[in-house]
Amino acid sequence: MCGRFVVAAVGSELVGVLRVDVEGDDLPAPSYNVAPTDRVAIVLDSAKTEPPTRRLESARWGLVPGWAKDPSIGARAFNARSEELEDKPMFRGALAKRRAVVPASGYYEWKREGDAKVPHYIHAADGSPLFLAGLYEWWRDESKADDDADRWLLSFTILTRDSIGRLGSIHDRMPLFMDPDHADAWLDPTTDNVRDVLDAAIDAAPAVAETLEDHVVGKAVGNVRNNGPELIEPLPRADQPTGSHT
């Protein structure tokens, strides 16, 4: 699963290779401890223009489908298993029409070491951003007036798949990583072969995963109130649990 991640930069610095046409004017600040219900920037293609406009927009983590009575449902829909999307009413519509890419600097995962869970920071070796497959939805708050800027909520979920190799030794699930080419195909709202695009992304994700590195970090990341670059610093070797990756 992916329950915490890092966005250390925003705007073109983070998504340059995805050729974003428009950047929203309310993008969240960088965060070193993004948790469900927090806001981050996601990439989506708006099909309302011809050709579609690729946008970088602020969205809340945790998918809230349009039919939801209130947004609280999103707190438990921050991840979605890529193998089960077509079987879940919450995700089926978004898979067909509302696909997103979630850019991140890295993410945290907890590995069980005896009776303890040890946090690891997983990231690209060269510091380049990770592109995570996602789905998005718009939810309308009927309690607010039509001219209220906050009436519409944009939310998203991050897709996952079985882990492989080194990442599999940390946790049995990992985000569905995408290289720029697969991210481009995933975002295209005009595609009529979504299942093929998804299968290709699932098959290609291990190649990205194998290039990633991880290191043990301090337990401070477990508290959502902590947020700063010190959270991703490697834990000194003497403080690391026996058997952890460095």
Tokens 């951003």 -> residue: 129
SS3 per residue for 198-232 = HHHHHHHHHHHHCCEEEEECCHHHHCCCCCCHHHH
DSSP strands (E only) in the chain? 4-7, 22-23, 31-34, 39-46, 53-61, 79-81, 99-104, 106-113, 116-124, 130-140, 152-162, 173-175, 177-178, 212-216
Dihedral (CA of 185, 102, 130, 77) sign: negative
Residue 17, pLDDT score:
87
Dihedral (CA of 238, 123, 34, 230) sign: positive
Q: How far apart are CA 42 and CA 158, in angstroms?
A: 11
Which residues does the chain have with pLDDT short of 50? Answer: 245-246
Angle (deg, nearest 10), helices 180-187 and 194-209: 160
Residue 246, pLDDT score:
45
Provide the 10 A C-beta neighbour count for residue 225: 7
Residue 175, pLDDT score:
97
Domains of the chain by range and CATH?
Answer: 4-239 (3.90.1680.10)
pTM for the structure as a whole = 0.92
